[in-house]
Chain A
Amino acid sequence: MNRLNILTCFFGVFLSINSVVAVAEEPIKPVTIIPYDRDKAAIGKLLFADVRLSGNDSLSCASCHILDQGGDDNVARSIGINGKPSKRNSPTVFNTGFNFLQLWDGRADSLEQQVKGVITSKAVMGMESWDDTVEKIAGIEQYNQAFQEVYGKPIEAKHIQEVIAEYERSLVLVNSPFDQYLNGDESAISDTAKTGYALFKSYGCISCHQGVNVGGNMFQKIGVLKDINLRDPNDVDLGRHNITGNEWDKRVFKVPSLRLVVQTAPYFHDGSVKTLRDAIDIMTEYQLGRKVPDEHKTAIMEFLATLPGELPTEAK
């Protein structure tokens, strides 16, 4: 253990010196498309919008992930098949292929697993079981034929999950003004947005919202520098703790992607915050332990507005 410490120290010094010398690397990277199977995605696209995937033919994925409205549903907490609000706010399905895990508490390892869970969830899409789902979909000639063509065999649960996941992998928004700026086009975004980006980095938003998806690659406690209970004592969602049972995972959530944040109000896991400005307020106070002047927030918002890209034509 001692040797290890010395080693990491030594390595640390070496790296620190390096980091001082190193050319600053941008902590946000432009979006590039994720490889996906077009034939499978084509079936996935149909299923995504098909209400027959729900128990009473009333809900499709697209009911809560409206593609022309930012890929979410614009309500605080999504209304499930039983007409009651679910526990959480619906995140966008755009760029979810970049997220290291799916769902607010990261309980799905992959997009496939998310589909597997949501369709048979009593509170969300309410199918009895996957056997039922397969039987129901197999009863629709159009799908029967499409699956047969792609997989060469009768419909299986894992194939339904796969085609929808493939479709989601195609939902990647490229060529945003900010990505153009990152790629060297100085005129792609306004000066205020550039200032906003600088502030986003210097305030330290970037230490959590970072990478290609400006988030979606780590967990964070909500309220790292100030107890979040001070904000909303009624919020009892313990997040990742529900999955792991670890004490330290209480109120830990996946850091959400901010790529489409300007289109996906209301905010946070419970949709409790209506405006982006308020969300930023909470972030600076509870996550950064800092006071941020209004004009800085405005600049950051202008920067955030440059983040959404567009769907590549071949994925439309």
Chain B
Amino acid sequence: MRTALLLILLVIVGGVGVGSLIYKNNLEDSENARTHVLASLSQIKHIDSLINTQMLESRYGLRVDYDELAQLITQIKREVSELDTTLLVEPASVDNSIRIALDNIKEQLTLKIDVIENFKSHNSVLRNSIKYAPVLGDSIIEELSVTNNEAAQDLKVINNALYRWALYGSKKEATIIQDNSTVVIDLIPKVENSIALIEYSTHVTAVIEEQEKTQRYITNALAIPLVSTVGQLETVYAGYYMTVLKSLERDRLYVMGYALFALLVAVYLGVMLRKSYQALKGRDEYRSQQISVAYRHVGYADNHVGTVKGAFYSIKEILLFLDGIYLETKKQSHDPKKMSQLLSKAIKKYRHLDKQNTIDETDELLEKSNHNLEKASTLIKNLMAS
């Protein structure tokens, strides 16, 4: 009985313990997951802004290699694909809006990387031509100024624009270069060193085309709404996290409810235990009481039996005495005086003996003793039955 109670208590306390542990772990898990996800998201935004800066720096020749930019792209790809594991392995997989938001990010990232790779390629070509063309232009102008000063002056307009463009990269110069590019082509058949002019023409064209492309790629890359898709995921995730919290809150209520229930059960069991203990104690007391009563009865019976035994002795004595008188009187039947003496002696003795009223009481006593023994026996029978 007691071990059973202890077991029940153990199950209850254990249940509450395990329940709160699970709750606590779940809470920690989702808090960790949330910290992880939010950290990744802000990391993605951070890397994205570094990527943008690097692009702009490369665009204006401040970055002389793409190693860092390439590493950042590898990093942001890894960061996004890790989100896949943290977000979609979690129960969040039920939440379709998260999947959609994440797919959006991936799509935008793929687009952006594509554009950046194009930017890198074209920017490299542009940087070459933009460095080389003005220098080549100068040497051609120098040569031309001797033979064809007019042409040299025309070229100078383009070449100066190229220089300024290399330095400031403003649209105005680009237009000047573009507007005057035919000048170079027109000149080709008119000069001696046409090979240099053809080369120059190639590079001026490259500058115009590559500049246009590079600018377009950089504008496109910056316009790709990667950050806002990340923001969307943040919002969706915040909503999802609220539902996680709510369900956790529900879990917490469950655990608390269970704990309360367990407490009630424990209190109830305690009360029951106490009650049954007291009942047990009462019954024990009653039992010993009954037993002592039975004993008393047995004692009584014993006493009665003793008394009866005494009475029997007296009766035996009386009978023996009477027996003696009878023999004496039979002997003295010839002597009436003696006989009468003997008789009066006998009566006296009998009276003395009978003073104890033994004979009359013997029956009564036997009956009483019997009664006591019966009582004791039922008491004991009852006790044994209980």
Contact = CB atoms under 8 A, between A and B. Distances in A.
Given A5-B219, A15-B57, A218-B120, A210 B62 contact: no
B124 A218 contact: yes
A29 B67 contact: yes
B65 interface: yes
Given A13-B168, A27-B64, A289 B199 contact: yes
Nearest to A290: B199
A46 interface: no
A140 interface: no
B62 A211 contact: no
Contact of B170 (A9, A26, A100, A210): A9
Interface in B41-94: 56-57, 59-62, 64-67, 69-71, 73-74, 77
A8 B222 contact: yes
Nearest to B69: A217
B288 interface: no
Most buried by B among A16, A221, A291: A16
Contacts of B171: 9
A187 B375 CA distance: 128
B117 interface: yes
Contacts of B223: 1, 4
A208 B125 CA distance: 8
Interface in B168-184: 168-171
B202 A289 contact: yes
B60 A15 contact: yes
Interface stretch (A17-25, A71-79, A126-134): A17-25
A29 B118 CA distance: 24
B127 interface: yes
Interface residues of A, number: 43
Q: How large is the interface on B (under 10, 10 to 19, 20 to 34, 35 or more residues)?
A: 35 or more
A12 B173 CA distance: 14
A224 B38 CA distance: 43
A72 to B, nearest CB: 23
Nearest to B202: A289
Contacts of A5: 219
B167 interface: yes
Nearest to A212: B67
B6 interface: no
Given A207-B125, A218-B70, A224-B121, 17 more contacts: A1-B223, A8-B59, A8-B218, A9-B169, A11-B60, A12-B59, A13-B168, A19-B61, A25-B64, A27-B64, A207-B127, A211-B67, A217-B66, A219-B121, A225-B206, A289-B203, A289-B206
